[in-house]
Amino acid sequence: MKFFKKVIVIALFLGLTSNLIALDEKQQNNTPLLTLSKNENGSFNGVFNNAPLRGILKKVSSYTGLEFSVLPQVDASYTLKFTNWSGEKLIDRVVRDISNYRFFVKNNTIRTTKSLILLDSDGKDVPMQQTFDIGKADFDFDKRFNGINQATKLNVPLIELPEVVALMALSEQQKQHDLFYKRVVNPNNPASAYTFKVRYSKQHKMMIPFKKNGKPESKKAEGFMNFYTVANAIIKKQNFLEVYRNGKDVYLRFKDKALKDTFMLISGDETNMEVVQKVGTKGLPNMQSRLIGNQDEFTTLTEIHHPKGTVILADVVITQ
């Protein structure tokens, strides 16, 4: 618990103002333990493909809107009828009860063994496979940062650099829209997945989450990253930063040598902007993150490293 509190602290400190059904790696022949399908009338059926889950069904049947019945033709399968979907609570409960079982949700319309669907508040499918792919791509942060040692120091105002000008333009555009995040936590060994929305608040002068899984959400903070949060951090810290360039890459480093392991890379323009950060602050978990995309859609990948483990946040973000 202390570890996750530290993770939240570092995420908020860095301006990452940061319904899963996980994969069952042991299931034979890639057969999902739970198959979720959508009916023509808009309702959803879930089929458990494993007989030992009979007891679990009894435990979760007390949830409002959840009904289940045994399929007589297949003794080892069970059909679930969701009349009032609250997938996050249901899955959390089931995962806790089973402990050794994890779930893999298969969207029958896609017919692949590694597709995951999420439902928003209107019962619409929210494809999550792209988010899994982002998190499992194994981006090489160290290789991307290699150029910093050959970068040349610049004696120009930071805000006049074309890359920073483009970043500021993207930031201003994002203040006018809602941003829809599709997130998977630890994609290689899924811990959770969910969606949330953020928007700029003139009152608070910052991006604030206002929906989670399609429902109003204002009490909990989310760690997240976008062009606005990056630009805002640069503006606040610009007097403490030095500027370097290596080809198309611009590097921002703190003048304070005690923070030499904390820096940012900016590359590209408004059509395709890349921001990569590394944070190595003594006493806090090391963190590195990458944002790449444009005004319409972008992705973020954040790795938070701690002696007790690593947390990976993978996001696909769409402007609405």
Q: For residue range 271-307, list pLDDT tens digits in order.
A: 999 999 998 766 666 888 999 999 999 999 988 887 7
Residue ranges of the chain that CATH labels 3.30.780: 28-115
- The answer, as to whether pTM is greater than 0.75, is no
Specify the fold of 141-319: Lipocalin (2.40.128)
Q: What is the CATH number of domain 28-115?
A: 3.30.780
In this predicted structure, what is the pLDDT of residue 221?
57
List the chain residues with pLDDT less than 70.
Answer: 1-137, 189-192, 217-222, 281-285, 308
What are the start and end residues of each CATH 2.40.128 domain in the chain? 141-319
Confidence at residue 14, expressed as pLDDT on a 0 to 100 scale: 34
pLDDT at 22: 28
String of DSSP letters for the chain: -HHHHHHHHHHHHTT---------TTSGGG--SEEEEE-TTS-EEEEE--GGGHHHHHHHTTSTTEEEEE-TT-TT-EEEEESS--HHHHHHHHHHHHSS------BTTT--SS--EEE-TTS-EEE-HHHHHHHHS---HHHHTGGGGGPEEE-S-GGGSHHHHHHHHHHHHHTTS-EEEEEEESTTS--EEEEEEEEEETTTTEEEEEEETTEE--SS------HHHHHHHHHHHGGGEEEEEETTEEEEEESSGGGTT-EEEEEEETTEEEEEEEE--TTS-EEEEEEEE-SSEEEEEEEEEETTEEEEEEEEEEE-
Task: Provide the pLDDT for residue 154.
Answer: 94
What pLDDT, on a 0 to 100 scale, did the predictor assign at position 260? 83
